[in-house]
Every structure is written in C-alpha cells, then in structure tokens.
C-alpha cells in the first residue's frame, strides 16, 4: 500500500536521470576530474612523479615535458598538493575515453594546459612509454 | 534415504554482484547443506599496500569501493597510533561525517540490492534515487563519489567551509523524509515482509559462534557496535546501536534501514560540533612500531594492524574486513531454507567479496 503511494507520486514527477551523454553531466565544481599542468611554472623537481601512488607521471627534464597515463591516474590529488610551484591543477570534468592506449604529454613547447596525445603500441594497456620499451 | 543433489550457485550468478560460489546440497527444494568457496577475487592487496606507507593512504581505499572511506580512516588511525598523535577535533568530526555519509550510501545500496534480488526493481530504483542525494553530497565535500581520498595521516585533506556545512544540513533535512518513506515500504509492504520474515534465520548463538559483526550480528540480538569504543568523534555524540532479535532477513534489512536514519541524526549532531580549528597536523619521520585500530564499517568491525620498520616500506599490513566474518555465516543460515530464497539470504548479509578476498 505504501509503495502504491510512492509509485503514484513518481508517475507525476519529472525523471531524476539525465540523458547523458547528450546532456552534460552536472558535476560539482569541487569534483576531482583530471590533472592539468601549467608547464611555464614547472621547475622539474620530480616531486609529483615520486609522490604519485600509481606511477602515472613521468617527468622529463631534458625534453621539458610531463607525461601522464590517464588510465592509471586515480585522481587522488597528491601531485597537486605536493607541487611547490602550483603547476598542477585539478579540473572538474573527466578526460575523454580512449579507444587505444595513449598518454598525454604536457611540454614547455606547448601553451599552458595544452597537451599532445601520443598513441602507444596496441596491447600496452595503461603502461607508461618507458615500461613499453622495456618489454 | 535418497542422496542429496549437489548444485553450485555462482561464481557467476545474476543475483550476485561479485564472484562467490556456494555448493548447495538439496533435497527436493530444501537446502540441507551449503559450502562456501571464496578466493575468486584475490588481488594480493596486503602485499601491494606494504610497499610505501605514504601511498598506501590512497591505495587502501581501493580494497573496497563501498566502504572506501572506512578503510582509509582505519589505516590513518593505525598510523596515528604508531606515531602516537591525536588528530585535531575538527578533523575527527569531519571524518565521522564522511563515515556516516558512507554508511548511508552503503546501506542504501544493500537495501536496493535486496529489493532487486526479490524482483522488486521499482523499490531498487527508489533506493538508488535517494542514494544519489548522499552520493552527490560526498562528491561536493570530498571531490569524488566513491574514493573520497580525504583522510591522510594526521587529519584530513579537505576542509568544509561554512557554506558546505549548511549544505550538508540541508541535504540531511531533505533526505530524512525520503528515507522514512522507504522505511515505511520495507517495514510494511506485504510482499516484502512475507518474503523476508523467518527466512534465513541466524540465532543468537549461531551469530556468536560464527563470529558475525555489524548489522548481521545486531539483527540477531548481539549488541556489538565498534562505534561505542569512541574512535573519531563517536565519543562526542549520542550513539544508539540498532539491535533486533529476530535474526531473519527482515531483521537484517530493518537494522540497515534504521541505521541509515540514525546516521542522519549523527551527522546532524556532528555538524553542531564543528568548531574553528586546524584539520591537519604535520607528521615527522618514518613510522616505527606496531599499531592497531578498529572502526565500524557499514558491514561491521574493520580491523587494521600495521607493523612499521622505520622506512618507507612497511613490514606487514593486515586487514580483517567485516565481510570476511559475515559471509561464512550464510552456511548457517541456508540449511532449511528453500532454493528460491538462497540469493536473498546471501544478499541479506551484504556480502562484499572485494573485502573478503582482498
Ligand atoms: S612537482 Fe610541480 S614543479 Fe615539480 S616537477 Fe612536478 S609539476 Fe613540476
Ligand atoms: S592525481 Fe594522484 S594518481 Fe593522478 S597523477 Fe596525480 S598523484 Fe598520480
């Protein structure tokens, strides 16, 4: 009987779900979506690389670049907190899903917050480029 | 005397979200014996967690998705025990708020799953709709819906501002009537009550013998609740463990439902306790020594034991999860029940195989 009441009420309500992905997901501003580098600030101290619990980051001082395996990153915010120059920031929206193993490379040659996408050989899964060549 | 028929249920079964296998012995429709087989989900987490104690506070949440915050809180408490420090009061209170929020989401998941196992999809969706309010709230507080990553050794990482405190209070006010409606359905709906009453009874003695913890034990009349120990901020708030005597599926479901409502009370009390102050303290040096801590996860007592040897690497980290104690007790509940009730009884202990196998 009590269920009948709530069923009737639900019948005249608007749906609570949204038509994702046609409608953008309503993420709160504080959401930990993905990490971004503002490379002009980076001093290549490698603290982010060392603190990352999943070894998702590799810092390359010679090439002035930061490589991140998005599939590995668990958005724990540790790298954002450890960075002495506030180079890394966490943005609310998620990165796009990949169809093949890729890494995102932020480098000083690119504008801040921009990255290029590099494809890894098939079957690399969420390995970093250096781990792939080690195989 | 006919020999009983033996059939396997699981590891892949539509009623179970995770792989567990029960070898059932049947005489006609009656279950006469049950043997549980686990280990399909073993990942060797305890070894991986011992590699670097600083990274462990994030990885430990991945032991289980539905009580992630309790795992990281227990781990951080254990490390604080080793360092012998007392975290600031505000950090304790926010930890408690997050733990209670997670209890609500976890119990609503279990309740929804119970309803779904009985074929009551309508109620399942309703549970998940109310759950979404709490999920959204924790996302706003911590930045993630599942893995909050808010606990660190020495306190918490993200503070709540005054706006967020008000918002939390508003969400709790909004959630209470919705959960009371749900409670009404679970308590009085004819179909549900007939399906759950006197099914899968675990008597008080059996509950004690099988070492059950948490809602399973409390539904069988064992008044044990680790929150009464007063870890985090539980010694500052008025806790009333929910205990029932029947020991059947209905009692277990109702204990979870009432605990959800009680969690709202506790969160509201915690919000009043929030004073100005720091939320984190600095911790120096590598840990040395042994530490132990218990928290009351949604499924019951969660125990962490850590042995640190003064480096980044830990000597051993031992996790005893509540599901590890609760899941085997289905072997005591199943004999005597009908085959059709097996999924319901198994789901009513809220089995978390990720926790059990680690
Ligand atoms: S911690 Fe910051 S400054 Fe240091 S390498 Fe990483 S991004 Fe650059
Ligand atoms: S957010 Fe965490 S997992 Fe992701 S790159 Fe930073 S430290 Fe690594």
pLDDT of residue B29: 81
Residue in A7, A30, A81 closest to B143 by CB? A30
Residue A96 has pLDDT above 60, yes or no: yes
A47 CB near ligand 1 (under 6 Å): yes
Q: Which percentage of chain B shows pLDDT scores above 90?
A: 7
Task: Pick the residue from chain B with its C-alpha nearest to A52.
Answer: B55
What residues contact residue B161 under an 8 Å CB cut-off, 6+ apart? none
Q: Is A87 in the pocket of ligand 1 (CB under 6 A)?
A: yes
Q: What average pLDDT does range B71-86 have in this prediction?
A: 89
**Helices marked H in B50-155:** 53-59, 68-83, 89-117, 121-142
- Give me the residues paired with residue A105 across strands: A67, A116
CB atoms B58 and A53 under 8 Å:
yes
Listed by number, the residues of chain A in 29-48 with a beta carbon closer than 8 Å to a beta carbon of chain B are: 30-32
Span B1-9, average pLDDT: 78
pTM of the model: 0.86
Set of chain B residues whose Cβ sits within 8 Å of the Cβ of A16: 129, 132
Instruction: For domain A31-131, say whether CATH 3.40.605.10 is its number.
Output: no
Q: So what's the pLDDT on residue A133?
A: 59
Report the pLDDT averaged over residues B3-25.
Answer: 80
Contacts of A81 in chain B (CB under 8 A): 157
Chain B contact present for A63, CB below 8 A: no
CB contact under 8 A, A6 and B185: yes
pLDDT bin (cut points 50, 70, 90) of residue B2 is: confident
pLDDT band at A122 (very low <50, low <70, confident <90, very high): confident
Distance CA B301, CA B197 (A): 26
The predicted-structure confidence for B246-257, as pLDDT tens digits, reads as follows 888 889 899 999
For A16-27, write each residue's pLDDT tens digit.
888 888 888 888
A135: CA distance to ligand 1 center in Å? Answer: 28
Residues 94-133 on A with a CB inside 8 Å of B are none
DSSP one-letter code for B63: G
Chain centroid offset of residue A125 CA = 16
With CA atoms as reference, report the closest residue to B15 among B358, B349, B355, B356. Answer: B349
The three-state (H, E, C) secondary structure of B94-118, written as one string: HHHHHHHHHHHHHHHHHHHHHHHHC
Residue nearest to atom 8 of ligand 2 (CA): A52
Q: Using omega within 30 degrees of 0 as the cis cutoff, is the peptide bond preceding B73 cis? A: no
How confident is the model over B280-292, as a mean pLDDT?
A: 85
Q: Could you tell me the two tokens for A20? A: 């994702």
The per-residue pLDDT for A135 is 47
Atom of ligand 2 nearest to the CA of A57: 5
Spatial CA neighbour of B29 closest among B335, B348, B339: B339
Chain B residues with CB-CB distance to A3 below 8 A: 122-123, 185, 189
User: Do A16 and B132 count as a contact with CB atoms less than 8 A apart?
Assistant: yes
Q: Are strands B314-320 and B155-156 parallel, antiparallel or unpaired?
A: unpaired
pLDDT digits (tens, 9 = 90+) for B186-219: 888 888 888 888 888 888 888 888 888 888 888 8
- B231 within some domain: yes
The dihedral of CA B225, B314, B155, A28: what is its sign? negative
What is the CA(A125)–ligand 2 centre distance, in A? 18
Give the residue with greater pLDDT, B18 vs B78: B78
The domain spans of chain A are: 31-131
Q: Collect all residues with Cβ–Cβ distance below 8 Å to B20 and sequence separation of at least 6.
A: B10, B11, B36, B37, B38, B40, B327, B346, B351, B353, B356
pLDDT of residue B104: 92
In a domain, B10, yes or no: no
- Residue A100 banded pLDDT, cuts 50, 70, 90: confident
- Which CATH number do you get for residue B171? 1.10.645.10
Compare CB distances from A32 to B52, B144, B181 and report the shortest one's residue: B144
Picking from B228, B270, B284, the residue whose alpha carbon sits closest to that of residue B85 is B284
Domain membership of residue B313 as a residue range: 44-322+343-357
Reading the block at residue A56, the tokens are 């998702």
pLDDT band at B264 (very low <50, low <70, confident <90, very high): very high
Average pLDDT over residues B231-249: 84
Question: What number is the average pLDDT over the span B71-77?
Answer: 90
pLDDT > 90 in chain A, percent = 0
Q: What is the pLDDT of residue B67?
A: 86
Look at residue B127 and tell me whether its pLDDT is greater than 80.
yes
A79 touches ligand 2 (CB under 6 Å): yes
B315 SS3 class: strand
Ligand nearest to C-alpha A76: 2
Average predicted confidence (pLDDT) for chain A: 82
Report whether B178 contacts B126 (CB < 8 A).
no
- Domain count of the fold of chain B: 1
**CA B352/CA B150 separation, integer angstroms:** 22
What is the Cβ-side half-sphere exposure of residue A130, based on CA atoms within 13 angstroms? 9
User: Does the beta carbon of A36 sit less than 6 angstroms from any atom of ligand 2?
Assistant: no
* B147 to chain A, closest Cα gap in Å: 8
Q: Please classify residue B206 by burial: count the beta carbons closer than 10 Å to its beta carbon, then call 0-12 exposed, 13-18 middle and 19+ buried.
A: middle
Does residue B160 belong to any structural domain of this protein?
yes
Suggest the residue from A1, A2, A16, A29 to mutate for an interface test with chain B (most B CBs closer than 10 A).
A2
Nearest to A7 among B54, B62, B122 (CB): B122
CA of A37, closest atom in ligand 1: 7
Q: Looking at the predicted structure, is the pLDDT value of residue B69 above 70?
A: yes
Ligand 2 atom with the smallest distance to the CA of A74 is 3
Provide the pLDDT for residue A1.
Answer: 60
* pLDDT of res. A2: 67
Instruction: Write the residue with the smallest CA distance to atom 6 of ligand 2.
Output: A79
Q: Which of A10, A31, A53 sits opposite B139 (nearest CB)?
A: A31
Residue B212: C-alpha distances to residues B63, B65, B331 (Å): 20, 21, 12
Q: Is A52 in the pocket of ligand 1 (CB under 6 A)?
A: no
pLDDT at B135 over 80: yes
How many CB atoms are located within 10 Å of the residue B176 CB?
A: 15
Among A2-16, A22-36, B338-352, the least confident range: A2-16
Closest CA to ligand 2's atom 5: A73
A3 touches chain B (CB under 8 A): yes
In angstroms, the first-to-last Cα distance of chain B is 42
Spatial contact of B251 and B245, defined as CB atoms under 8 Å apart: yes
* Structural tokens at position B320: 């005893």
For tokens 């002495």, the residue is A84
Q: Which of A88, A82, A78, A87 is nearest to A54 (CA)?
A: A78
For residues B210 and B202, what is the distance between their CA atoms, to the nearest angstrom?
10
For residue A51, list chain B residues with Cβ-Cβ distance below 8 A: 54-55
Report ipTM (2 d.p.).
Answer: 0.79
Region A44-72: mean pLDDT is 86
Q: How far is the CA of B147 from the centre of ligand 1 (A)?
A: 24
Spatial distance between the Cα atoms of B24 and B6, rounded to a whole number of angstroms: 5
Q: B168 CB near a chain A CB, below 8 Å?
A: no
Average pLDDT over residues B325-348: 85
CA distance A32 to B2: 60
Name which of A103, A110, A107, A108 is nearest A130 in CA terms. A103
Q: Say yes or no for a CB contact (<8 Å) between B123 and A53.
A: no
């Amino acid at each position: 009987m009590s269920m009948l009441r709530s069923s009737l009420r639900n019948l005249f309500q608007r749906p609570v779900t949204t038509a994702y992905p046609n409608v953008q997901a309503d993420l709160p501003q504080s959401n930990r979506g993905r990490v971004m580098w503002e490379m002009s600030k980076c001093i290549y101290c490698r603290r982010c690389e060392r603190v990352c619990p999943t070894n998702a980051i590799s810092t390359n001082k010679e090439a002035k670049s930061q490589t991140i395996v998005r599939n590995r990153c668990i958005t724990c915010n540790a790298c954002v907190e450890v960075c002495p120059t506030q180079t890394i920031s966490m943005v609310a929206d998620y990165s796009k899903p990949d169809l093949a193993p890729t890494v995102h490379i932020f480098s000083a040659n690119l504008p801040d917050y921009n990255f290029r996408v590099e494809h890894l050989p098939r079957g690399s899964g969420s390995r970093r480029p250096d781990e792939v060549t080690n195989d | 005397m006919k020999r009983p028929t033996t059939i396997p249920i699981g590891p892949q079964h539509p009623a179970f979200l995770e792989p567990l296998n029960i070898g059932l012995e049947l005489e006609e429709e009656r279950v006469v014996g049950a043997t549980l087989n686990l280990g399909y989900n073993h990942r060797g987490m305890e070894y991986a967690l011992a590699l670097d104690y600083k990274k462990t506070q994030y990885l430990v949440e991945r032991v289980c998705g539905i009580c992630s915050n309790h795992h990281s809180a227990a781990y951080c408490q254990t490390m604080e025990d080793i360092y012998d420090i007392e975290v600031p009061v505000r950090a304790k209170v926010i930890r408690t708020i997050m733990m209670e929020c997670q209890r609500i989401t976890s119990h609503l998941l279990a309740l929804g799953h119970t309803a779904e196992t009985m074929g009551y999809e309508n109620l399942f969706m309703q549970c998940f709709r109310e759950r979404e309010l709490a999920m959204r709230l924790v996302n706003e507080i911590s930045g993630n819906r599942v893995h909050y990553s808010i606990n660190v050794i020495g306190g918490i990482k993200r503070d709540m501002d005054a706006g967020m405190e008000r918002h939390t209070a508003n969400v709790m006010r909004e959630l209470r009537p919705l959960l009371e409606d749900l409670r009404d359905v679970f308590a009085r709906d004819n179909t549900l009550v007939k399906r759950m009453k006197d099914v899968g009874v675990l008597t008080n003695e059996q509950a004690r013998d099988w070492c059950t913890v948490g809602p399973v034990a409390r539904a069988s009349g064992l008044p044990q609740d680790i929150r009464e120990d007063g870890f985090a901020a539980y010694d500052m708030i008025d806790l009333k463990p929910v205990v029932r005597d029947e020991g059947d599926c209905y009692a277990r479901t109702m204990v979870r439902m009432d605990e959800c409502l009680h969690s709202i009370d506790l969160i509201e009390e915690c919000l009043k306790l929030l004073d100005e102050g720091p939320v984190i303290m600095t911790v120096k040096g590598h840990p040395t020594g042994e530490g132990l801590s218990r928290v009351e996860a949604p499924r019951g007592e969660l125990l962490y034991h850590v042995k640190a040897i003064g480096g980044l690497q830990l000597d051993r980290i031992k996790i005893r999860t509540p599901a590890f104690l609760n899941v085997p007790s289905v072997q005591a509940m199943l004999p005597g029940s009908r085959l059709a009730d097996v999924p319901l009884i198994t789901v009513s202990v809220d089995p978390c195989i990720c926790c059990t196998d680690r």
